[in-house]
């Protein structure tokens, strides 16, 4: 009898953990996940430019991965195009450090555009 109760308790615990682990996936999919990810990475880019004057390789890779993930579904949206321009300007800033300040100003304007437009452009 004790073994059956213990087995049921362990099974219930495993089900609870499984449910909790999948909540993020269930709550944020498709357009909502795109909005969250593109907003977060754009804010991170702006934050790094504002504090360090450069975009870290890690953030740059995260931006490129996010774009690759959502290219087929959201590639024609203005926010996606602006995010691609961020990649282009960061590449140009790395290639020509003398132009970095101007390129990062373009990046900041694109981040501002993404933040303003993401709420209305991407459907739920």
Total tally of structural domains belonging to the chain:
1
What DSSP assignment string belongs to 42-102?
A: HHHHHHHHHHHSS--HHHHHHHHHHHHHHHHHHTTSHHHHHHHHHHHHHHHHHH-GGGHHH
pLDDT digits (tens, 9 = 90+) for 46-59: 999 999 888 999 99
More confident residue, 29 or 36: 36
- Nearest CA among 62, 91, 68 for reference residue 80: 68
Phi, psi values for residue 96, rounded to 5° = -135, 85
89 within a domain of the structure (yes/no): yes
pLDDT digits (tens, 9 = 90+) for 63-107: 999 999 999 999 999 999 999 999 999 999 999 989 989 999 999
How would residue 7 be classed by pLDDT, with cut points 50, 70 and 90?
A: low
Neighbours of 32 (CB within 10 A): 13
11 within a domain of the structure (yes/no): no
Domain span at residue 78? 28-121
65 within a domain of the structure (yes/no): yes
50 within a domain of the structure (yes/no): yes
């Amino acid at each position: 009898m004790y073994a059956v109760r213990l087995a049921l308790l362990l099974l219930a615990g495993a089900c609870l953990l499984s449910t909790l682990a999948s909540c993020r996936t269930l709550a944020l999919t498709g357009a909502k996940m795109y909005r969250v990810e593109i907003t977060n990475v754009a804010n991170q880019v702006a934050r790094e430019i504002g504090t360090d004057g450069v975009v870290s390789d890690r953030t740059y890779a995260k931006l490129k991965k996010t774009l690759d993930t959502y290219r087929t579904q959201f590639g024609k949206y203005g926010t996606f195009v602006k995010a691609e321009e961020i990649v282009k300007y960061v590449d140009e800033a790395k290639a020509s450090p003398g132009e970095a300040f101007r390129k990062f100003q373009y990046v900041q304007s694109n981040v501002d555009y993404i933040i303003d437009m993401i709420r209305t452009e991407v459907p739920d």
